[in-house]
């Protein structure tokens, strides 16, 4: 399956909204941007843990794999898309601008 960043962002938001709408009454509260950011930081920590394990800085009895890293990177991307959509940001445009900025800055 191939999707654009825009499609992926909208898909994440659609799924997030569906889940949040279902769970809100049970929890008695919805996910605010604050909770989204704490989730983003939590997922970033899980990415760090996976990389730390892959690089041999975690106990060997709890090995990390590339598949685990892929999952954590995907978790992180998911919440980044959700946060962007919450604020009405089209991340695809911003991302392409960022890539262009890096090229202009470092590739001359």
The verdict on 39 binding Mg ion (CB under 5 A) reads: no
Q: How many CA atoms lie within 13 A of 37 on its CB side?
A: 4
Q: Residue 42 CB: number of other CB atoms within 10 A?
A: 12
Nearer to Mg ion, 46 or 92 (CB): 46
Nearer to Mg ion, 11 or 69 (CB): 69
Using CB under 5 A, pick the residue from 6, 11, 17, 46 that binds Mg ion: 46
Are 100 and 32 spatial neighbours (Cβ–Cβ below 8 Å)?
Answer: no
Taking the C-alpha atoms of residue 63 and residue 72, their distance in angstroms, rounded to an integer, is 15
Q: To the nearest whole angstrom, how small is the minimum distance from the Cβ of residue 9 to Mg ion?
A: 19
Applying CB under 5 A, which residues contact Mg ion? 43, 46, 72, 75
């Amino acid at each position: 399956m191939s999707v654009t960043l825009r499609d992926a962002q909208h898909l994440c938001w659609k799924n997030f909204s569906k889940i949040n709408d279902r769970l809100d009454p049970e929890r008695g509260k919805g996910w605010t941007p604050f909770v989204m950011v704490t989730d983003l930081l939590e997922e970033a920590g899980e990415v760090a843990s996976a990389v730390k394990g892959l690089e041999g800085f975690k106990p060997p009895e709890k090995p990390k794999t590339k598949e685990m890293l892929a999952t954590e990177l995907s978790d992180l991307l998911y919440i980044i898309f959700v946060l962007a959509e919450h604020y009405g940001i089209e991340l695809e445009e911003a991302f392409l601008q960022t890539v262009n900025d890096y090229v202009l800055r470092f590739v001359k």
